[in-house]
Amino acid sequence: MRLSPVDRIFTRIGANDRLICGQSTFFVELRETLVILRNATKHSLVLIDELGRGTSTFDGTAIASAVLSDISRRIRCRSFFSTHYHSLCRSASVNPNIALAHMVCLHQVSCK
């Protein structure tokens, strides 16, 4: 991937509610995602981590799939979209605008 300047950077990371405002984790997640979908351009950078975690697996997969499809087909910006929904990876593999990668984290404990 080649990096170049971007007009805006959007992130949807974490799982936070705003109960004092009457907003569940799911509501906050969708509201923040809506901001991305309405404002990102092809020159933006979008980072989304585990979209759909605030709801059921079935609904989360559907939401994540729809958002990923919209970003890749309509907005067409550089994006990093992490997910644990394996079915989403399978369906995204047929989209020519999406490159899939598998990431792992190695954790070493040092005993001194």
**Tens of pLDDT, residue by residue, the chain (112 residues):** 566 789 999 999 988 888 888 888 888 999 999 999 999 999 999 999 999 888 889 999 999 999 999 999 999 999 999 998 888 888 888 888 888 888 888 888 888 7
Among 83, 27, 32, CA closest to 55: 27
Q: Which CATH number fits domain 9-92: 3.40.50.300, 3.30.70.100, 3.40.50.720, 3.40.50.12780?
A: 3.40.50.300
Locus of tokens 């990371």 = 13
pLDDT, residue 1, reads 59
CB-based burial of residue 99 (10 Å sphere; 0-12 exposed, 13-18 middle, 19+ buried)? exposed
pLDDT, residue 25, reads 86
pLDDT, residue 100, reads 84
pLDDT, residue 102, reads 81
Beta strands in the chain (DSSP E): 9-12, 45-49, 78-82
pLDDT, residue 34, reads 97
Name the token pair of 60: 């989360």
pLDDT, residue 53, reads 86
Q: In a 3-state reduction of DSSP, which class is residue 111?
A: coil
List C-alpha distances in Å: 79 to 11, 16, 39, 107, 112.
Answer: 10, 22, 14, 26, 41
Alpha carbon 28 to its chain's center: 14
The whole model's pTM is what? 0.82
Name the token pair of 88: 């989403």
